[in-house]
Amino acid sequence: MSAGTEKIVSSIMSDAQIKADSILGKAEEENNSILEKGQNEAFLEKGKILEDAKKQSNMKYQQLISEAKMNSRRMELEAREEIIEDAFKKAEEKLKEIASSDSSEYKDSLKNIITEAAAEIGGGELIILVKDSDVAKIKDSIQSIAQDVATKTGEETTLELGGNIKTIGGAIVKTINGDIEVNNTIEARMLRFKKDLRSKVAAVLFK
């Protein structure tokens, strides 16, 4: 090979080497850039994943705490309700015991219950319904009860005993034609006053 040819070949090889080095340099630069970008994206993604996991964990924690509080409150209310209902049952049993006796306390209460119901109707011709064992307790007081009702209402009043009813105690009073009726049995009175009584019982039991 001549000196001129060698010089040309050498020059071509030198240019090729420079281009190759340049291409390799750019490729390495681009590779490093892609790698760095990938690492940054991976780091950001990792942070996002960790942040999302932290948020989900916190949400789950708050949900569990909320559910625990709700369950605790529900159990407390159920326990209170059970205690209050038990108190009502005991009170009903006690009233049943009193209403089954011949105590003057119950006789007076029965008269007052009948008077109250008859006055609420407004007097007039009325029928009294009581349980069988209570008939003897009020039979001799019917006239005086009627007079009390007439005095309270200003309406002439007559009372007569009707059929017997099944009840713990107390009475039902109604007009002779049955259009108006006041249920003053112990069960009905407890049911009517239960809301107010519930508050009072709760105040005593849980003060």
Based on the fold, state whether residues 72 and 108 are members of the same structural domain. Answer: no
Surface-to-core class of residue 118, CB atoms within 10 Å of its CB (0-12 exposed, 13-18 middle, 19+ buried): buried
Assess contact for 97 and 105: CB atoms under 8 A.
no
Domain endpoint, select from 52, 83, 99: 99
**Residues 118, 163: Cα–Cα separation, whole Å:** 17
Q: How many domains does the chain have?
A: 2
Based on the fold, state whether residues 109 and 177 are members of the same structural domain. Answer: yes
Surface-to-core class of residue 202, CB atoms within 10 Å of its CB (0-12 exposed, 13-18 middle, 19+ buried): middle
Domain CATH number, residue 167: 3.30.2320.30
Distance in angstroms between the alpha carbons of the first and the last residue of the chain: 117
Neighbour count for residue 133 (Cβ, 10 Å): 13
**Residues 116, 110: Cα–Cα separation, whole Å:** 10
Domain endpoint, select from 79, 99, 119: 99
pLDDT at 8: 52
pLDDT at 57: 74
Across residues 25-42, what is the average pLDDT?
69
Which tokens sit at 54? 């932290």
Neighbour count for residue 127 (Cβ, 10 Å): 18
- pLDDT, one tens digit per residue, over 102-153 is 888 889 999 999 999 999 999 999 999 999 999 999 999 999 999 999 999 9
Local confidence band at 180 (pLDDT 50, 70, 90 cut-offs): very high
Look up tokens 């519930």; give the residue. Answer: 198
Domain endpoint, select from 44, 67, 99: 99
Q: Which domain holds residue 26?
A: 1-99
Neighbour count for residue 111 (Cβ, 10 Å): 18
